[in-house]
Structures are given as C-alpha cells and as structure tokens.
Amino acid sequence: MVDNDRLAARKEIRMRRAACEITERETIIRILQKCHVCRLGLVKDNVPYIVPVSFGYSDNAIYFHSAQEGLKIEFIAAGNIACFEFELEVGILTEGNKPCDWGFSYQSVVGHGRVREVTGHLDKVKGLNLIVKQYMEGEWPMAAPHVENTRVWQLVIESITGKQSEDHFNS
C-alpha cells in the first residue's frame, strides 16, 4: 500500500524549470487529446510496474481497459494509487557541435490519482466508447459479451502537470 502522507507531500513539489511548466489546463487537455498512449505506473510490494495502455479522457479521469485477469490487475488490487505519463511531439534537437549541446523537443503531461473499476453495463460502454473516441470519431456498438468480458477502469486524477521544451512556447 502507498503511504497517503507521502502522496499528499508529492502534491507540494514544484517543477525545477518553472519556465517550462504548462500552467494552462486547456493546453494540458489538448495534449491528452492528441496522444495515442498513456503510460500507467503502478506498485505492488515495493515493486514498480509501468505499462502502456490505450485510453480515453473525460471529466478529469482517464479510462483504460483490461482482460479479466493479469499483471495490471494484480498491481491495481495491491493498491489503487497510480501515476501516468503522456508525451507528444518528441524529437531530438541536434543543434551544437557535441551531444552535450543537444536537447529534446517535447510536450509531456504527468500526474497521479486513484483507480477504480467501472461496473455496470452502461458505464462500461461509456468508458469503452471514450477509449475508442480517442482514436476515431463516433460511437461504436458494443456487443454485450465483449463488454462483459472486458474490465474497464477509471483513474480519477488528483494531480496533473505539464511540461514543454522552449520550442513549444507560444504554440
């Protein structure tokens, strides 16, 4: 289990390079809407686990799905606290004569929150459609057996921040 006092303390940490911080909530949401992969971080028995997942975003929550069993579910069952990371438009900037002068172009979003399982057929369909909507337009019919055989999860965001390289300022 994660120590809730340490989690609360994490909320107070400030970004070292404050000029690179994305402070506008709309920009953070735009990054989420453009991303294709969410990296989900979990912990069980002091062992970290990170897994890329397809996702959907709505109302301060990230939705993802899983099979009925597996490592991801074991880690969620060990403690419902999770962290996440998104990145967009990542590329190397090779300006300068040596690698130490190089840098990266990027926009990223990180945060943490609590995971809960979405139950009930209609709520699961809503979550699955949010995931599909991340990758294509429209809502898609969901066959009842597929919905019932899929576990849907909601990560309610408690803390979120964004960061970007200088070449993304004013974009």
Encode pLDDT of 45-77 as tens digits.
Answer: 999 999 999 999 999 999 999 999 999 999 999
Indicate whether 139 belongs to any domain.
yes
pTM for this predicted structure: 0.84
Indicate whether 43 belongs to any domain.
yes
Q: What is the pLDDT of residue 1?
A: 36
| Cα 157 to Cα 169: distance, rounded to the nearest angstrom | 25
Q: Which residues of the chain have a pLDDT value below 70? A: 1-20, 91, 93, 166-171
Q: What is the pLDDT of residue 24?
A: 86
Domain encompassing residue 143: 4-8+16-166
Indicate whether 85 belongs to any domain.
yes
Count up the domains in the chain and report the number. Answer: 1
Average pLDDT over the chain, rounded to whole?
A: 85
Indicate whether 94 belongs to any domain.
yes
Q: What is the pLDDT of residue 98?
A: 78
Indicate whether 39 belongs to any domain.
yes
Look up the CATH number of the domain holding residue 23.
2.30.110.10
Indicate whether 171 belongs to any domain.
no
